[in-house]
Amino acid sequence: MFNIGRCFGSSAKYLASLPVWRQAIKLQNRMSTVPHPVAAVCQVTATPDKEANFSACKQLVEDAKERGACMVFLPEGFDYIGSSREETLSLSESLAGDTVSRYTQLARKLEVWLSLGGFHERGHDWETDRRIYNSHIIINDKGDIVSVYRKSHLFDVELPERGVSLKESAFTIPGPSLVTPVQTPIGKVGLGICYDLRFPELSVALQRHGAEILTYPSAFTVATGAAHWEVLLRARAVETQCFVLAAAQVGRHHEKRSSYGHALVVDPWGVVLGDCGGEKPGMVLVEVDLEKVSSTRKNMPVQQHRRDTGFYHSLEET
């Protein structure tokens, strides 16, 4: 299996390695009549500067495509991370706005699928309540929006001893429902966003509806990331026997906020295939071999052993 487990940034060393990747992909093509698709899981440092953010993300997408990726995953807040509630709301847009339009054009031009992991989408009653959704958008290689999932679990957490104080519900509307896993070139992808990672019910529901890959684009705080990020991602992979792809924000966004980084790829056995580290933007590339999903589930048929829903609610009836 050809796993690409390094994180690359936009440096001379990064670009110089391009022929090596081409050779590796060609070698894989010779070894298999149906080569496994390559996904790129990105790590960025978004700021309130939307234009700079788009430029940085566009470069990552272009580099990923050049390296053979057919689907690119960007993190929560890829469009921007505001320094105040007022700034966050003022920079928000609708799905029909300029930001999403630029990404649909980019996907169409490069013929690549995009996972836009957390877009500040103006709510349906924006003119009345000035509130937004945190929306995960999937765009296909024709530039069409094929799915939108709105984050359902909002991060309202006060950890004074760890310097964490965020109340997402102050300006964000919780999404009304989960969405069906999306058929993509790398497999069926089940959509979550950041804090959703802490709710195994969500991942199990997506797996039951056909997900082979789960994705949790995030902007984890440094404190919660150091404590919980990897262990939660690996747990979601093990319990669902899915690949887990988690794009991430990293570093200092502005004077009030920093993110943990470590964009991660985990296989269905819980093995970490790639980690972008906690210092700078970049990407990790990985082949998605769905046979690994099939064999893991066949050899340890956890879902077949699961009892009916009523069994798990039986304690509530006693």
- Which residues belong to the active site? 76, 151, 194
Of 299, 234, 301, nearest in space to 273 by CA: 234
Place of tokens 């802490």: 198
Of 233, 223, 243, 231, nearest in space to 297 by CA: 243
Structure tokens at 53: 């953010």
Regarding beta strands 248-254 and 243-246, do their DSSP bridges make them parallel or antiparallel, or are they unpaired?
Answer: unpaired
Of 123, 127, 145, nearest in space to 136 by CA: 145
CA 224 – CA 178 distance, rounded (Å)? 24
Determine which helix (DSSP H) or strand (DSSP E) holds 105, and give its type and residue range. helix 98-110
Is 165 in contact with 156 (CB distance < 8 Å)?
A: no
The number of helices, as runs of H, and strands, as runs of E, in the chain is 12, 17
